[in-house]
Structure 1
């Protein structure tokens, strides 16, 4: 089937390039995109190789061979990759007339465009749909942060009528002119995504302006860009509400647009390898109902606006906060594995059932959300299979809510409040060492062993097969 898919895409590519075949509709494109994955933290790093190994053709081939049909490639074009330093322009209001730059000041490195083109060709040659996504650390620091007046980003903020705001806007648009020109003759299986997660910084009005301008830039470059599908989102609100903020004027101005959103809710679960988030279990009726409601709202909006949807990112931290480089568990725990698998599976199947395409977030084995281990070319198999729909018959362990552990931090003892009989319970340290605990179902108190101070995982298995993982800070005074 994979080879037939490749052949079909190859035929489409040849005819579109040589005979000017009309673009398929956005709805058909989303259907073709299906199930995909991000190649995160590679070309979006300030320097390729800083956050993950440099991209190789084998990496992309492995993605295709696994059965994914789309890759989203986050790419940063700012920093050293594009000329023209805008920092000399004033950030103050009313200084826009002092701007003296031109589009020619902002030139993307030709060698970098060559590298981007090489990677895109690898993907297209594997029969994949490829999404070029403007995304990265320097994109935030040099452009997106400048729109946000929040105290956190005050050092970056520029007044809308400042010379620097004019310069930064022109630089962003100049980059898109060069991207559009370089790839205008490429197969329709290359899609452009205007910008990653702007809604944390730009208002809906600001984002409507940016969308309209870049859409016009792409269309005016000609050739296949006249009707290439373009991926857009809105401003002001994040997660499932982001596309709902796109103005009707933008949607109605172009017939080849695809709306996108990202989904990392509930953060207490998806980011639970961090110190401040500690919900390790996911998958009960309430958890799933929240997804159903939020995704349903996007579907209703999509149908009312006649614009298809692409779920560009979603995912949960590695099981137990596991680090595939150091081969150790995190200091603050992380998702229980069955819950992590179930989360990926549920969102993937929900997206496909509603007619969305998706690319799950993956940033390699140096990151906290790992699906493909770049260093040895292997997969976190259960998560990969969940995304591809290959594990729907796999039994799932049930999880337990309504569980109270105190005191926390603790020193010599803890107490549990739960209405379910416990089968066994143990402490697990960050290196995976297990310390069994004595527990009497008639006594909520549990004596703790003499261990080093630090963060532990309390693993509780109930007699009915349910389980619960909890963070426990031990501080022996």
Structure 2
């Protein structure tokens, strides 16, 4: 009788147009995607990147991507209710006098979100609405953190302010869910971005459970809408592994997510304190295989599909597409950056994950789409979509390593092939230096002006390697 009743319910749901999409099917449909970062998650749209237009979504779809993740921040002046008036102190929760009606999401902002989501759905893209942003961190996530750097934000769990912050976050999600409850099931909700830097595993279990229940309570297509969750306490590939069985077993439409920016010395190498400019050795790849494999094993054991929500590496040489300049501290060499995106994308797809690579716009340090010119950063789009370079080209980072970059008076060269000669060119294409010493391991620069140069190393096997070198004498 139970099975018969479930069949009737399923049939009625289908007849009403609410045909469910299982998480496994949805992850397969999502496939390869991209983040639209630094736009709607900025304090004001346009602060960090160009305001979004429908041409961005058209270009993403026409390139061949099948999903987009849209980071959105609902805190700041986008939602009413100032929780800072409440005490952060222990045992003050009884003094909280607020109600959900204090926290109202600006209807005009919801209209804007709806417009953007409609643009994306109209391009047949699967859309992830991701609660994300620096104001979200300052006003909510950091209030859970006991780290010393977050001390100004911390609120005691039994404080009035913690009660206020919790109610505000949940009320925002109620507003989101109500606004989009009748939207296509190709719209997916992501509870919150990277909570694990502030919230414990237990904190995140509670938050996941509450938001899942809130979304389901609004009915309509939210009854069966897929929801993306992660765990607390540990980051990167370990984050989903922290989700409790209680949360995983409470709902049949959950997708687990993780982000991946390891090794940081490579992916953040445009910054001063990270200076590994190449990637692609067998050891590098084995680390990815091991970490992604751990997630796949967990996924199979829990029967929860996986979404790689973010990954990426700094722009080649620390290049800034807004200023058209290279960074002061160098950055990934081009072939390695391409190979990194390619390897992670293919690994994710091979393991049955979907992904959205991180793109934060032309003003950022991690750029894929260049909105002002409607073009793409060299090689990255093709790497993500599986339109890869030839093996000789994409594997050249395994042949040779050049460091440090920027260079002051010398540069070191390591290669597992014999180097025939090394040449240095300025950006006008004129050769200004050549060294014919075979198997050279170190070059000392002549007296040349500071600036960016092209280094070309020719190997005796006929291959050659080239990269930009920033010289700061």
- Fold-level similarity (TM above 0.5): yes
Counterparts of 2:233 and 2:247 in 1: how far apart (Å)?
Answer: 16
Q: CA deviation at 1:425?
A: 3.5
**CA 1:357 to 1:328, structure 2 compared with 1: closer, same or farther past 3 Å?**
same
**Aligned mate of 2:218, from 217, 221, 230:** 221
Secondary structure of the residue aligned to 2:168 is helix
Secondary structure of the residue aligned to 2:179 is helix
Aligned to 2:201: 204
Asked if the contact 1:281–1:469 (Cα under 8 Å) also holds between the matched residues in 2, the reply is no
Aligned to 1:129: 126
**CA 1:433 to 1:143, structure 2 compared with 1: closer, same or farther past 3 Å?**
farther
Asked if the contact 1:364–1:371 (Cα under 8 Å) also holds between the matched residues in 2, the reply is yes
Aligned to 1:313: 310
**For structure 1, which segment, 452-461 or 337-346, has the greater mean C-alpha deviation from structure 2 after superposition?**
452-461
**Aligned mate of 2:397, from 399, 403, 411:** 399
The unaligned stretches of length 5 or more in structure 2 are: 1-11
Asked if the contact 1:17–1:187 (Cα under 8 Å) also holds between the matched residues in 2, the reply is no
Does the alignment pair 1:363 with 2:360?
yes
Deviations 1:118-171 (A, max 9, x none): 001111111111110000110111111111111111111111111111111111
Q: CA deviation at 1:423?
A: 3.1
Q: CA deviation at 1:405?
A: 6.2
Q: CA deviation at 1:449?
A: 2.0
Asked if the contact 1:332–1:455 (Cα under 8 Å) also holds between the matched residues in 2, the reply is no
**CA 1:433 to 1:277, structure 2 compared with 1: closer, same or farther past 3 Å?**
farther
Does the alignment pair 1:116 with 2:113?
yes
**Aligned mate of 1:268, from 260, 265, 277:** 265
Secondary structure of the residue aligned to 1:74 is strand
**CA 1:393 to 1:448, structure 2 compared with 1: closer, same or farther past 3 Å?**
closer
CA RMSD of aligned residues (A): 2.8
Asked if the contact 1:278–1:471 (Cα under 8 Å) also holds between the matched residues in 2, the reply is no
**Aligned mate of 1:390, from 362, 377, 387:** 387
Asked if the contact 1:328–1:431 (Cα under 8 Å) also holds between the matched residues in 2, the reply is no
Aligned to 1:12: none
Counterparts of 1:119 and 1:62 in 2: how far apart (Å)?
Answer: 14
**CA 1:299 to 1:408, structure 2 compared with 1: closer, same or farther past 3 Å?**
closer
Does the alignment pair 1:282 with 2:246?
no
Aligned to 1:91: 88
Counterparts of 2:57 and 2:141 in 1: how far apart (Å)?
Answer: 29
Aligned to 2:4: none
Does the alignment pair 1:231 with 2:216?
no
Counterparts of 2:439 and 2:388 in 1: how far apart (Å)?
Answer: 39
Secondary structure of the residue aligned to 2:68 is strand
Counterparts of 1:92 and 1:453 in 2: how far apart (Å)?
Answer: 55
Aligned to 1:153: 150
**CA 1:398 to 1:96, structure 2 compared with 1: closer, same or farther past 3 Å?**
same
Does the alignment pair 1:187 with 2:187?
no
Deviations 1:381-416 (A, max 9, x none): 5211111112265642422579696999855x6676
Secondary structure of the residue aligned to 1:366 is coil
Secondary structure of the residue aligned to 2:396 is coil
Asked if the contact 2:331–2:405 (Cα under 8 Å) also holds between the matched residues in 1, the reply is no
**CA 1:149 to 1:432, structure 2 compared with 1: closer, same or farther past 3 Å?**
farther
Secondary structure of the residue aligned to 1:244 is helix
TM-score of the two chains, using structure 2 as the length reference: 0.89
Asked if the contact 2:280–2:398 (Cα under 8 Å) also holds between the matched residues in 1, the reply is no
Secondary structure of the residue aligned to 1:52 is coil
Counterparts of 1:452 and 1:336 in 2: how far apart (Å)?
Answer: 22
Aligned to 2:6: none
Aligned to 1:257: 254
